[in-house]
Amino acid sequence: MDDLLEQVLACFREEVPEVEFRRGSASGWGTRLLTVPVVSGEVLSQRQEGDSRETVLQFSLFSVEREQGEELLSTLWSLLAEHFPGCARLERAAGAVDSWTGLPLLAFRAVFGGPEDGQGVPLLLGGKACRAAAVKAQTVHTGEPLVAVGEETPFAWRNTGAAYQVELQGMSTQGLERLASFSAEIGDRVYTGCRWRQLEQPWGKAVFTAQNCEEQGE
């Protein structure tokens, strides 16, 4: 998956031109004084199972000041979320000092997984096209519990019904908070009466509940 690494590094170079990005195998940058932040990337591991695969990219971020490194890390994570929906999750190590250069070092990994094309699951949120690394949907029961005095377990439920909860993993959540009530199309299912239950910024997962769900073509 060297092509994937090159795509990620090319995106970083275009969006953050003031930073130097290199492959992990590149030589020379560690032998001179650091004038701008440097990020090196490499393919850590690959795994194929059927029509799904997992690729782990590892990055090392060197900066002059630790605060500068933290800000850059946040920017890179946002870029991965926005441009690479096939990235299922991000992991980071605790900050350290590189023993060779004496510079602040932040290491993080981007884990890509999913369908063979690695592009994630296409969907529409409020009419806007986007992608998520994975989608998990379930039916949840709603209603008002009736509990006797002194008891904790309900003896009956009133106004019972069903709702739907959908979890979107590995997608950019920037701007989604502006959707107060919306519809969502995922595959052949259309969810209506949707409201956000959880949004992790700037990267992570988005969870919404829906009042109705219909299969397209029914």
Asked if 69 and 33 sit in the same domain, the reply is yes
- The pLDDT, as a whole number, for residue 56 is 87
- The pLDDT, as a whole number, for residue 176 is 84
Asked if 81 and 100 sit in the same domain, the reply is yes
Residues of the chain with pLDDT under 70: 1-2, 25-34, 48-53, 114-120, 143, 157, 159-161, 170, 201-204, 217-218
- State the DSSP string of 177-191: GG-SSEEEEETTEEE
Asked if 61 and 157 sit in the same domain, the reply is no
Asked if 26 and 91 sit in the same domain, the reply is yes
Asked if 56 and 149 sit in the same domain, the reply is no
Instruction: Please identify, among 72, 93, 114, the residue that sits at the C-terminal boundary of a domain.
Output: 114
Instruction: Please identify, among 91, 114, 137, the residue that sits at the C-terminal boundary of a domain.
Output: 114
- The pLDDT, as a whole number, for residue 2 is 62
Asked if 139 and 81 sit in the same domain, the reply is no
pTM above 0.75, yes or no: no
Asked if 125 and 104 sit in the same domain, the reply is no
Asked if 127 and 177 sit in the same domain, the reply is yes
Instruction: Please identify, among 70, 88, 114, the residue that sits at the C-terminal boundary of a domain.
Output: 114
The CATH number assigned to the domain holding 46 equals: 3.30.2000.10
- The pLDDT, as a whole number, for residue 119 is 59
Task: Please answer whether residues 161 and 154 qualify as being in contact, where contact means their C-beta atoms are separated by less than 8 angstroms.
Answer: no
Domain that holds residue 89: 2-114
Total domains in the chain come to 2
Please, which contacts does 92-95 make with residues 24 or more away whose CB atoms are closer than 8 Å?
Answer: 95/66, 95/69, 95/70
Read off the pLDDT of residues 159-193 as tens digits, 9 standing for 90 and up.
Answer: 666 788 998 876 777 788 888 899 999 988 899 99
Question: What are the residue ranges of helices labelled H in 44-177?
Answer: 66-83
- The pLDDT, as a whole number, for residue 70 is 87
Asked if 144 and 189 sit in the same domain, the reply is yes
- The pLDDT, as a whole number, for residue 4 is 83
